[in-house]
Amino acid sequence: MKIQNVKGGYDFLPKEQKIRNYINNTLRKTFEKYGFQPIETPILCYYDILSDKYDEENDILKEIYKLRDQGERKLGLRYDLTVPFAKFIALNKNQIKLPFKRYEIAKAFRDGPVRVGRDREFTQCDADVVGLDGQLIEAELMSLFVKAFNELNIEIIIKYNSRNLMTGLILESGIDSSLVQNVTTIIDKKDKLTDIEFKEKLFEIGLSNNQVNNITKYFDLSLDSLIELFQDTSNEKIKLGLQELNNLSKMLKSINIDSICIFSSSLARGQNYYTGNVFEVYEKNGKINGSIGAGGRYDKMIGDFINDGNKYPTVGISFGLSSIYELLKDNTMFNERSNTDIYIIPLGTEIESLKIANMLRYLDYNVEIEMKNKKLKKSLDYANKEKIPYVIILGEDEIKKRVFCIKDMFNNSNLEIEFDNLDSLKNIINLNRK
């Protein structure tokens, strides 16, 4: 037997997991600042629920990990948190009040190609709102993106578009509605192709020269140019799409994030369930390929699940933990200090050291005790290597006097603390942990 991880699944050492925890905690705090509530959904799902919105040739179905239980029921591992969220609302609609704002930070799985920032087992960090129409909530979610990445000290740009506008422009180009999905898929790759490659792919699916020229012309225009060109259009999809984008653009400007948010007519997002505005987040300086966050409006998915005749307008965003980790893994701020605040070195005082450690832990300090009877120098070397900021050396004299010395390892200074006055440590030890 060869001991190894499945390709696309990884072990994370303490330093690595510390960064991942920092990302998750930062996102969790940001979600809650915006009024989102936590939920948890199962990893295992019925395959029919995961595959309901796709035809058998869709790439996402090829990436589902499929299995059967002992009753021979077809199951799958969730590939994102959106479909489980739709199922969550369907099952719990009588226990929640709309609008409902939820976040979930949990594992998802895809049996797809592995590359930097794209693993087969990964953590998704999602925030979704069900029960709100319009662009106000969309603008707030985009501001949440800006806030979260600002907290993570990552410079971003956000690209946004309307699926309604995209569909309308394709139909306006004289293309049959049966080809809209195929054309959308090609347009979504436009920024990664040369002009010749882009046109060749459109010709390959049977488009005429005139249709290809129309597509190329329309999808090179700015938002202002499209608004001007189609101000009197009878194309309802274009009219709706431009209204959505114009509303969103004005709101982004009003909250001063319009310089970060860029209209991109070719942005589609891959999932078929999006029904309105969509967005993707990129690291501003191109330090990583692909998006590090994404989202959009999907107004029909939950209604289709519940099928009770009511509408459940929904919009959500997702953060890519693996991609964000790649951006932060070399950041020196995570090397500044250990998770341990205080390291106690007993000199024949193990029981007393355990008592002091527990008292300090009740005061909210992270405390580690040296338990291998190492020599004092080796123990201090360990504290230095691990960047532990404070050390207590506890000997028999300290126990008798009920006073111990706490050593500041970063500033090479010592302070005496009375056993009966441990609270005074709060004025000395900074608990501003990463």
For residue 31, the surrounding DSSP H or E stretch is helix 14-33
For residue 217, the surrounding DSSP H or E stretch is helix 209-218
Same domain, 218 and 264: yes
3-state DSSP helix/strand/coil percent for the chain, to nearest 5?
40, 20, 40
Please report, as a single letter, which amino acid is at residue 399.
I
Same domain, 107 and 225: yes
Q: In what order do the strands lie in the sheet with 44-46?
A: 44-46, 74-77, 66-68
* Long-range pairs, 85-93, Cβ under 8 A, ≥24: 85/39, 85/41, 85/126, 85/128, 85/316, 86/301, 86/302, 86/305, 86/314, 87/41, 87/45, 87/49, 87/305, 88/39, 88/41, 89/130, 89/302, 89/305, 89/306, 89/312, 90/302, 90/305, 90/306, 93/306
User: Does residue 129 sit in helix, strand or coil?
Assistant: strand
**DSSP letter (8 states) at residue 6:** P
In a domain, 6, yes or no: no
* Cα 230 to Cα 238: distance, rounded to the nearest angstrom: 8
- Paired with 74 in beta bridges are 68
Q: Which two tokens stand for residue 388?
A: 């532990």
In a domain, 2, yes or no: no
The maximal CA–CA distance of the chain, rounded, in angstroms, is 94
Which of 328, 355, 383 is the last residue in one of the domains?
328
In a domain, 8, yes or no: no
Strands 342-346 and 367-369: parallel
Same domain, 351 and 296: no
Same domain, 36 and 184: yes
The domain that contains 278 carries what CATH number? Answer: 3.30.930.10
* Cα 277 to Cα 242: distance, rounded to the nearest angstrom: 10
* Cα 97 to Cα 262: distance, rounded to the nearest angstrom: 34
Residue pair 316/295 in contact (Cβ under 8 Å)? The answer is: yes
How many domains are contained in the chain? 2
Q: Angle, to 10 degrees, between the axis of helix 195-204 and the axis of helix 209-218?
A: 130
* Cα 28 to Cα 33: distance, rounded to the nearest angstrom: 9
Cis preceding linkage at 99, omega within 30: yes
Which of 296, 328, 360 is the last residue in one of the domains?
328
Same domain, 321 and 345: no
Please state the pTM of the whole predicted model: 0.88
The domain that contains 421 carries what CATH number? Answer: 3.40.50.800
Range of the domain at 238: 14-328
Q: What is the pLDDT along the chain (434 residues), one digit of tens a residue?
A: 899 999 999 999 988 999 999 999 999 999 999 999 999 999 999 999 998 766 666 677 889 999 999 999 999 999 999 889 999 999 999 999 999 999 999 999 999 888 876 789 999 999 999 999 999 999 999 999 999 999 999 999 999 999 999 999 999 999 999 999 999 999 999 988 999 999 999 999 999 999 999 999 999 999 999 999 999 999 999 999 999 999 999 999 999 999 999 999 999 987 678 999 999 999 999 898 889 999 999 999 899 888 889 999 999 999 989 889 999 998 877 777 788 999 999 999 999 999 999 999 999 999 999 999 999 999 999 999 999 999 999 999 999 999 999 999 988 899 889 988 888 888 777 665 55
- Per DSSP, the residues of 236-284 read HHHHHHHHHHHHHHHHHHHTT-TTTEEE-TT---S-TT--SEEEEEEET
Which of 298, 328, 358 is the last residue in one of the domains?
328
Same domain, 322 and 347: no
pLDDT for position 56 = 63
For residue 167, the surrounding DSSP H or E stretch is helix 163-172
Residue pair 117/326 in contact (Cβ under 8 Å)? The answer is: yes
* Cα 341 to Cα 362: distance, rounded to the nearest angstrom: 13
- Give residue 350's region: left, alpha or beta (phi > 0; psi -120 to 50): alpha
Q: Which two tokens stand for residue 162?
A: 């309307």
In a domain, 5, yes or no: no
Q: What are phi and psi of 263, to 5 degrees?
A: -70, 135
